[in-house]
Structures are given as C-alpha cells and as structure tokens.
Amino acid sequence: MTISSFHPTARTLMGPGPSDVNPRILEALSRPTIGHLDPEFVSMMEEVKSMLQYAFQTSNELTLPVSAPGSAGMETCFANLVEPGDKVIVCRNGVFGMRMTENVERCGGEAVTIDDAWGKPVDPDKLRDTLKQHPDAKIVAFVHAETSTGARSDAKTLVEIAHGAGCLTIVDAVTSLGGVELKVDDWNIDAIYSGTQKCLSCVPGLSPVSFSERAIEKIKGRSSKVQSWFLDLNLVMGYWGGGAKRAYHHTAPVNSLYALHEALVLLQEEGLENAWQRHQLNHLALRAGLEAFGMDFVVDEEWRLPQLNSVRIPAGHDDATVRQRLLNEFNLEIGAGLGDLAGKVWRIGLMGYASNRKNVITCLSALEAVGLKADGSAVAAAQAVYDK
Amino acid sequence: MTISSFHPTARTLMGPGPSDVNPRILEALSRPTIGHLDPEFVSMMEEVKSMLQYAFQTSNELTLPVSAPGSAGMETCFANLVEPGDKVIVCRNGVFGMRMTENVERCGGEAVTIDDAWGKPVDPDKLRDTLKQHPDAKIVAFVHAETSTGARSDAKTLVEIAHGAGCLTIVDAVTSLGGVELKVDDWNIDAIYSGTQKCLSCVPGLSPVSFSERAIEKIKGRSSKVQSWFLDLNLVMGYWGGGAKRAYHHTAPVNSLYALHEALVLLQEEGLENAWQRHQLNHLALRAGLEAFGMDFVVDEEWRLPQLNSVRIPAGHDDATVRQRLLNEFNLEIGAGLGDLAGKVWRIGLMGYASNRKNVITCLSALEAVGLKADGSAVAAAQAVYDK
C-alpha cells in the first residue's frame, strides 16, 4: 500500500454547493491550530457569534455554528425543539422538506406534511388550512430556499401564519444565508439553520444556527432530555455561551472556525445588502444567457433564487454527457437534478464568491463549447446585462 | 462593527488535544475545495478508508470518518447500536466513560455502570462479575485511553470478557489511535471511534469509526430507526460505501478530509509501529525530566499512556499561574486536570507530531523557567534517555 498526497484539480464550483471558496478563506483555514480553550480562540468565537448575528440579522444571543454540516444543524433544531408526541407541520416542496419529516419522526414527533410541487414555493393558504385542522400543532417547519429546486418561499408570511396558530417555526436557510434577503428578527423566525459552503463561500462542515428567546424557553422547559448529547443546546451553550468561563463540551473544529471567521469578515466588508444585490445581478446576467440558449427555468420568476438556477435541459442534450464534458474539459462543476427532476434539469449555482461576472461568462462559453447553441448570443446577452 | 481577520499566535500544543498539526497537513487543508461527488474526491475517500483500516488494523469494510468531532463518533456508535431497552454495561474511569452513560440513556438504553478510580484502568474482574449479574446485557462500552487521566485499559481482555457473555463492544480510542498499540481485528472490537486531533496530528472536526460485521448485523436488524438521521449508518454507508455510485447524504467536510488524508499518508510513511515507538521514547524522556522535578504520575507505570502524561502538581506551585505563564511566555499549552483532579494535576500531551524531542526539551526548560526546580537536572535526565 503506497498512497501519496492528494492534490485536487482546481475546479470552478457552480453546482448546488459547495461553492468556490475565496482564497482568503482557504488561507485562514491553514493558520496554526490553537487550543479550543485558548483565550485567543475564545475571543475569536465571540467575533464569530457577533458576525453571525449580522449575517442572520438577529440579536439572538443563541447564535453559533454547530460543529458539523448543515444536516446536523437541521437535526440540532429538531432534536432540541421537538419533544416526543409533539405535532409538527412540515411544508415540503423538495428534498430538504422531506428530510425534515424524517427528523420529526426520529425525534418521536408526529409529522403532518403539506406538499407543494417541486419548483413551487410553499403555499401559505395550505399552511393556514392545515393549522386549522391541527390546532394542537406545536411547530411549523419549512425551507426558505430549496436547494433541490431553486425555489424561494415567503418566509415572513409563513412565520406569521404559524405564530397566528401559536406555533414555533423552524426554517432551513442553508442556501439563503448571504445570498438573498433574510431577516431573522424582522420575520420573527424562532429557529434557523444554515450551511457554510453555499453563499458564505466557506468550506463545508459547519452549520450556523440561531434561536429566539421563545425557542430557548421551549428547550429549557422540556420534560425529556434532548436525545442527542452532541447536539444538546443546553450543553453546547455552556461552551459557546460561557464567555470567559467556558465549559468543555466537545473539541471545536478550530481551523474550520478560522475559515468561517474569515468568510464573515468578507461578508461584513462587502455589506449584506450588497452581497444580496451582487447575487441578483449575476443571476440576471446568467439568466439572459441561458434564455438565449432557449432554456426554461423550473421556478416562476417571482420565486427564483438568484444563487441557484434550475433550468430544463434542452432537447437533444444528454445530462450526464454535458456535465462530464464541462468537468473534464473546463473543470467546471454544475449540478444535476434530484428526484423527479434527475436527468431533466441542471442546477447552476452562483453562490457567494462564485457569484461573479467571470463565472457567468465562463459557464455560458463552456456550455456553447460543449454543444449548446453556438452563435455567441448567450454570452452577448449576459454581457448586455452587465453593461446596462 | 469592524472585525478584522484572525491571526492566531502559533502555539506548541502539549495538552490533551488538539495537538500540534504537521505543516504538511495544514497545507493540504487549504487545497482548493472540490465537489463532494467529484470523481477525484470519491477516489480520495476510498484512499482515506483504506488508510484508516491500516491505522485501526482492521479489514472492516465499514471504516470511515464521521463528519464531526469525536463526541459525534461516540454518538454514532451508541445511536446505531443501542436500541430502546438494551442493557449496556459502561465501564467508567474518567470523563469519557461518564459521557458514554449519557449516550446510552439518551438512546433509550439502560446503563449499568462499573466505576474504577480516576487514573486506574478498567478492572476486568469487575466487568466479569457485573456480566454475571446482568446476563441480559447486550453491549459493553469502555474507554481504551482515558484522555481525562492518561490511563490505558486492557482492551483485548475486556473485549474477550464481553464476548464471553455474548455482548458487543464499543471502544473509545479517541486518544489511542496512532499513539499506542491498537488492533481492532486481533482484539475483535465491534465498534470503535476516534478523533483526528490527537495522535493523528490532524485538525479537530472528524471522527474515524469502524464497525465489525457483527455490529453491522445488529444495526441492520434494528426494529426501530436510528434516532439520528445525520448519524444513521444505514444512510451514511450509501455515501461512503457506495463506490462510484454514491448517494448524496450530507455535504462532506471536503477540506478537513484532505487534511485527514495527508495525516494518514504521514502515518503510513512513518509506519504504525514506528509511531507507537516514537510516542513511547518521547514519553520516557519527558518522564525522566518530570521525575527530576519531583513530580509523580497519576497512573501506575503499566497503564500509563505515553501520549498523555498526568502528573501531580508539586507543592508550592499554583496550577493556573504556571499554565498561564507557559502560555504567555512560551506559547506552550499544557492541559489542566478535570473533575476531582482539577487544580491537582497537569496533563502533558505528546501526541502525534507534537511527540518529538524538541517539544520534550522545550516543555522541561519552560517549566524550569517558570519556577520548577531550576538546576538543569530535568533537561539532562531527558537528554540522557535520548542519548542512551
């Protein structure tokens, strides 16, 4: 057995995430590891918390990155908030809503599901009706930005409806944080989780979460222990919330947190609203190019996520062949469809650092080169958006 | 709010972990992020699995790094193997045995605990007796290398006793993997978890695990779903065990896995037995120095872990003051005691890359400089061990 060091080919990541990581973040990642109780590290953790509050637009004290990927952030919300027997309304319009149902059931909760077609936003009227039929529901859960389809849902309205029925809310913001408007406090979201590898352009492996006072009350008032020791916020708070007197809970992923810190410094330098606008501008340019190729978007204009463009594959082009050529000839990764959309759509991400003019033009040119309509009209259409 | 980039002071990490990270690993960590389904990444995952099999000395097919720290590796073992109502014998001789009890209870199992004094190994006779009293026990769990005390237990014998009573075994090898003899197949261990930030000298954030066929049978034969979706091995196997046809489960922590890959390449270059011997040699040198200071070890010689040296703080020296001076004046981190040992012992780690002659001499010199017996005898004693 002789295995040598691994040197990945540099790619351009325009799939559903991970997205291209800013070189400043990769450099931060490789700074010397220090102890997870080192005073310097503890100060850095406080800065991460404060910058996450900015990113989430919240003053929630309990705002921190879970030491594991977005799926663990999801589980942190459900395992802490759902008690055995709790009825939870889960709005499903893609893969991640389905995963929420799994979470509710594994926590001993009763899931009541509302289904909308993949590519459509969650329907507020259906939620209103379902809450009338289930006045004993405790929690409403939905995905703000469905990574599997590129559909945004109206989080503010859905939270209002849930609160009107006395429910807490759990919101998946894995793909929305940093890419589109998201205002945890203004929208009164109770529990929210995200990922680092999407519009924050950081490496995968951490899941920022935030909990309102109302959510914390439910967690503190539980009659049973949280079923996960690792994700039990009562314990995690002792480390992240302990100020100078931190209690050891688990060994924090030190270097990944350096990277998240740098990603958040970058977000702060750009400004959150500017980041949202940048995602929108590059989306419009990409869209102009894709439409010049004759491609249709899966999601109606109003609900399209600028950072995840799901388009139908034009007739005469084979999904796997095109994606493989893009990867092999251009080191360009775009995403495949999931579930019923597999083989029928591409998911082209413009997330965080990857959301830039060069990537938009590169992607359109590469699509031309592998056989999409090759008359230069796509690139020209995109350029026109920038030059407007 | 203006927060700038974080630049940690470089430390020498001689606590209970994280340990010093080899610069080659930090460099690997910062290589360009690629997709978690990229063919190049998938090939790298296969190499990680195979090198982990070497590190664990096992041919277990189900050998992989969990995408979260050691505590999540622990939870992976318990959540998958313990079904509601299962009786689990937990041998406790430190912090991590106590954490195991929490895990059993949160999985709905019934924990029967055996206590040994902190600093002592787990007593095989007590296990034998307890199993006689509890013939319906399903699982025996213990810690191979207690990070809280520096005590090794006789894993081989404990597993034999457990198997004699028809029990499966869960073994904590967070601090032992790569530092002392550990042979999963020879010792017939059924489920084992470790961490990356100890004797593998990698960054914290991943937890290598391995499961025998017997363990997999129990997992596949469960009558209830694993309560954690994120840690459910039935699902994780679809990604890590899927060969070329991998099913997406969660987004792997891509860059951390580059780092683990490099750490395992380094282990392979050195050779596992050589790594064990290096840990032992540096331990003997450090021990000679510490004894020259008049310090006593907490653990009896036979059961001492070379990678974690717990010594009683000599009279007249204040725990916090000494550790703070070491950190501030020498950028040297050593560990404090936990639980009953807090304030009474120091835990001096010599783990992985940190287990080297320079660190041994640096640590002894620094201890002299902050007020331990300053006659040069400690350094001389350590040097004599190397020069033998």
Alpha carbons A381 and B8: distance in angstroms, whole number: 46
Q: Give the H/E segment covering residue A172.
A: strand A168-172
Q: Do A254 and B2 lie within an 8 Å CB cutoff?
A: no
pLDDT digits over A229-267, tens only? 999 999 998 888 866 677 888 999 999 999 999 999 999
* Closest residue, chain A, to B49 (C-alpha): A3
pLDDT digits over A52-109, tens only? 999 999 999 999 999 999 999 999 999 999 999 999 999 999 999 889 999 999 999 9
Q: At residue A69, what is the residue type? A: P
Q: Do B265 and A30 lie within an 8 Å CB cutoff?
A: no
> Which residues of chain B are within 8 Å of residue A227 when distances are taken between CB atoms?
106-107, 227-228
Higher-scoring residue by pLDDT: B248, A244? B248
Q: Give the H/E segment covering residue A263.
A: helix A254-270
Mutate to test the interface with A, among B1, B6, B105 (most CBs of A within 10 A): B6
pLDDT band at B69 (very low <50, low <70, confident <90, very high): very high
> Which residues of chain A are within 8 Å of residue B75 when distances are taken between CB atoms?
228-230
* Closest residue, chain A, to B336 (C-alpha): A37
B343-371: burial string, b at 16+ Cβ within 10 Å, e else: eebbbbbbbbbbbebebbbbbbbbbbebe
Q: Nearest CA of chain B to the CA of A121: how many Å?
A: 23
The mean pLDDT of B334-361, rounded to a whole number, is: 96
Q: Do B71 and A265 lie within an 8 Å CB cutoff?
A: no
pLDDT of residue A244: 61
Q: Nearest CA of chain B to the CA of A179: how many Å?
A: 19
**CB atoms inside a 10 Å sphere around CB B383:** 18
A330 touches chain B (CB under 8 A): no
Q: Nearest CA of chain A to the CA of B144: how many Å?
A: 18
> Which residues of chain A are within 8 Å of residue B79 when distances are taken between CB atoms?
228
Q: Nearest CA of chain A to the CA of B255: how many Å?
A: 7
* Closest residue, chain B, to A148 (C-alpha): B248
pLDDT of residue A132: 98
Q: Do A204 and B251 lie within an 8 Å CB cutoff?
A: yes
pLDDT digits over B169-221, tens only? 999 999 999 999 999 999 999 999 999 999 999 999 999 999 999 999 999 99
Q: Are B299 and B151 in contact (CB under 8 A)?
A: yes
Per the DSSP assignment, residues forming a β-bridge with B323 are none
The mean pLDDT of B296-303, rounded to a whole number, is: 98
Q: Do A9 and B40 lie within an 8 Å CB cutoff?
A: yes
Of B2, B39, B205, the CB nearest to A256: B205
The mean pLDDT of A153-175, rounded to a whole number, is: 98
- CA nearest to B205, candidates B69, B59, B385, B48: B69
Q: Nearest CA of chain B to the CA of A388: how many Å?
A: 33
pLDDT of residue A238: 85
Report CA B317 to chain centroid distance, whole Å: 29
A249 touches chain B (CB under 8 A): yes
Exposure of A263 in the CB half-sphere (CA atoms within 13 A): 34
* Tokens found for residue A264: 């958040």
Q: Do A3 and B228 lie within an 8 Å CB cutoff?
A: no
Asked if pLDDT for residue B1 goes beyond 70, the answer is no
A133 touches chain B (CB under 8 A): no
pLDDT digits over A92-104, tens only? 999 998 899 999 9
Alpha carbons A387 and A153: distance in angstroms, whole number: 31
Of B195, B225, B254, the CB nearest to A106: B225
Q: Residue A152 in 3-state DSSP? A: strand
pLDDT band at A1 (very low <50, low <70, confident <90, very high): low
Q: Do B6 and A31 lie within an 8 Å CB cutoff?
A: yes
pLDDT of residue B122: 98
Q: Do A254 and B24 lie within an 8 Å CB cutoff?
A: no
- CA nearest to B351, candidates B11, B10, B12, B14: B14
pLDDT of residue B91: 98
The mean pLDDT of A331-340, rounded to a whole number, is: 95
pLDDT of residue B248: 82
* Closest residue, chain B, to A198 (C-alpha): B251
A223 touches chain B (CB under 8 A): no
Average pLDDT, chain A: 96
A67 touches chain B (CB under 8 A): yes
pLDDT band at A38 (very low <50, low <70, confident <90, very high): very high
ipTM exceeds 0.95: yes
pLDDT of residue A328: 97
> Which residues of chain B are within 8 Å of residue A252 when distances are taken between CB atoms?
69, 204
Q: Nearest CA of chain A to the CA of B109: how many Å?
A: 11
By CB atoms closer than 10 A (0-12, 13-18, 19+), residue A198 is buried
Q: Nearest CA of chain B to the CA of A207: how many Å?
A: 11
Q: Is B201 left (phi over 0), alpha (psi -120 to 50) or beta?
A: left
Say which DSSP state A48 is in: H
Place of tokens 């703070």: B324
Q: Do A229 and B3 lie within an 8 Å CB cutoff?
A: no
Q: Do A28 and B6 lie within an 8 Å CB cutoff?
A: yes
Q: Do B253 and A204 lie within an 8 Å CB cutoff?
A: yes
Q: Do A251 and B3 lie within an 8 Å CB cutoff?
A: no
Domains of chain A and any CATH numbers:
23-268 (3.40.640.10), 271-387 (3.90.1150.10)
Asked if pLDDT for residue A168 goes beyond 90, the answer is yes
DSSP for A80-140 reads: HHPPTT-EEEEEESSHHHHHHHHHHHHTT-EEEEEE--TTSPP-HHHHHHHHHH-TT--EE
Percent of chain B with pLDDT over 90: 93
Asked if pLDDT for residue A347 goes beyond 70, the answer is yes
Q: Do A34 and B11 lie within an 8 Å CB cutoff?
A: yes
CB pairs under 8 A between A and B: 262
A46 touches chain B (CB under 8 A): no
Q: Do B255 and A15 lie within an 8 Å CB cutoff?
A: no
pLDDT digits over B96-145, tens only? 988 999 999 999 999 999 999 999 999 999 999 999 999 999 999 999 99
pLDDT of residue B374: 79
